[in-house]
Structure 1
Amino acid sequence: MIEYANILLVEDDASLAQWVREYLQEHGFNVAHIARGDEVVEHIKQHEADLVLLDIMLPGMDGIDVCKALRKISNVPIIMMTARADEFDEVVGLEVGANDYVIKPVRPRALLARIKAILRMQETNPVRNLNELMFGKLHINGDSKRVTYQGQNIELSTSLFSLLWLLASNAGTVLDRDAVFKALIGREYDGLDRRMDVLVSNLRKKFNDNPQEPKKFKTIWGKGYLFIADAWDE
């Protein structure tokens, strides 16, 4: 159950860590706290965690490198916390595999809502990608999360793979932003969040899809995103 989920809080600000921990515990979560980035991987190997709240600026190892390291050993959901509201943190965080992010100062109710949304999505839609999708020279293995195109391995972050799998699984169908946000981060599109546009742009770069005249990943104005099934024979 969501209320009894185990959360790992990685934050070096003692006062912030204390109130976040107490607030989440009041709402039924089990919360462990670490103040250093270089201790996270070992903790995850030894203790169960259903979600990681990860600050970006940490001693020992910063949050970006921690996220990269975690993604090599675990698919545990990660929410990054950053004091910087610029696009750099947003884009980089998502590219290295974070599921979501929050901007400091952290709003308790907003943080709680995002945690519950991600855990609810994990609970109701666990990852069971045991099949393979093939479109021309594009092969996507949902079990191993391996992607090849034109015989070459394509390295994708967790977020990029999840978006590619979602779009390819619905090839030929326009997916609106609400559907994509609900499927990937467990909440509706708020009208402002640009992360999916950024991820689609990154997918185009990975597969050499001209952003001015895309043939593989199309953005349908006012509607959503479209994966073109017959564009992968080149």
Structure 2
Amino acid sequence: MHKVLIIDDDIELAGLFQEYLTQEGFTVDVNHTGASGLQNALSGAYQLVILDIMLPDIKGTEILTRIRLESRVPVLMFTAKGDDVDRIIGLESGADDYVPKPCTPRELVARIRAILRRTQSSAALSQGPIETGPLKLWPEKRKAGWFDQDLDLTSTEFNLLETLASQVGRIVSKNELSEKALGRPLARFDRSIDVHMSSIRQKLGNQPDGRSYIQTVRGQGYQLIKE
């Protein structure tokens, strides 16, 4: 049974989602302040955190940044409906995905299960590490290495890099990346993949000639350079 933490100051809405998720087989705790939510998010007791971007005491993005300093727990953010700025800021801060408010409990459950499914499926299917050039991935441990150094990735970043590494040298479409890394089809005008890829590129750095290890192929997708 997966444990989920909801951090949201909207008592009525958080209670609604808690009740629905409980009926769907999850164990759910709720915190209504950022301070208490941050403490629990870092406890290691939860498989996923749902975090509202607007909280009265600490901004959701600040909480997310502090979580990412210590934990790779998947984080699903509540963002304002139609506010692309909130979504991008959340993703850039290390969120794995987002759900715009208001949303239906059914959509929330679908997003949660998609993240958890991707987190667990690679480990279940893995027969060993994936190695290509300086990159080494251990799906069963959700661990990544880059030039023999630990590579700190969020859950979704790991999924994306794993997808590219398993097809190194091949162009992988954004839709395929969205399906495999986020567990959902790519929506029109959705920039989630682009934002996650930008973060991965920053963590990998550039090749000696200045080129990125991950190439954008306009109109087609992304490609991990084969060395």
- What band does the TM-score fall into relative to the shorter chain? 0.7 to 0.9
My pick for the range that moved more, 197-206 or 43-52, is 197-206
Query: How far does the alpha carbon of each residue in 1:83-124 deviate from its partner, in whole angstroms, 9 at most, with x for none?
Result: 253332222212222111011112222111111111222232
The aligned counterpart of 1:8 is 5
Show the 5 A alignment for 1:106-121: 106-121=103-118
Q: Is residue 53 of structure 2 the alignment partner of residue 56 of structure 1? A: yes
Q: Is residue 184 of structure 2 the alignment partner of residue 187 of structure 1? A: yes
Tell me, which stretches of 5 or more residues in structure 1 are unaligned? none
> What amino acid maps onto 2:38 in structure 1?
V
Q: 1:23 to 1:47 in 2, by over 3 A?
A: same
Q: 1:201 to 1:124 in 2, by over 3 A?
A: closer
Q: What is the CA distance between 1:5 and its match in structure 2?
A: 1.7
Percent identity among equivalent residues? 34
Q: What is the CA distance between 1:202 and its match in structure 2?
A: 4.9
The aligned counterpart of 2:94 is 97
Take 1:11 and 1:75, find their aligned partners in 2: how far apart are those partners? 20
Contact 1:82 1:104 in 2 (8 A): yes
Contact 2:79 2:86 in 1 (8 A): yes
Q: Point out the structure with max Rg over C-alpha.
A: 1
Take 1:220 and 1:112, find their aligned partners in 2: how far apart are those partners? 33
Q: CA RMSD in A?
A: 3.2
Take 1:171 and 1:43, find their aligned partners in 2: how far apart are those partners? 38
Count of matched residue positions in the alignment of Structure 1 and Structure 2:
218
Contact 1:167 1:227 in 2 (8 A): yes
> What amino acid maps onto 1:31 in structure 2?
V
Tell me, which stretches of 5 or more residues in structure 2 are unaligned? none
- What TM-score, normalized to structure 2? 0.78
Take 2:31 and 2:15, find their aligned partners in 1: how far apart are those partners? 11
Show the 5 A alignment for 1:155-234: 158=154, 159-160=156-157, 162-203=159-200, 207=205, 216-230=213-227
Contact 2:9 2:55 in 1 (8 A): yes
My pick for the range that moved more, 200-209 or 95-104, is 200-209
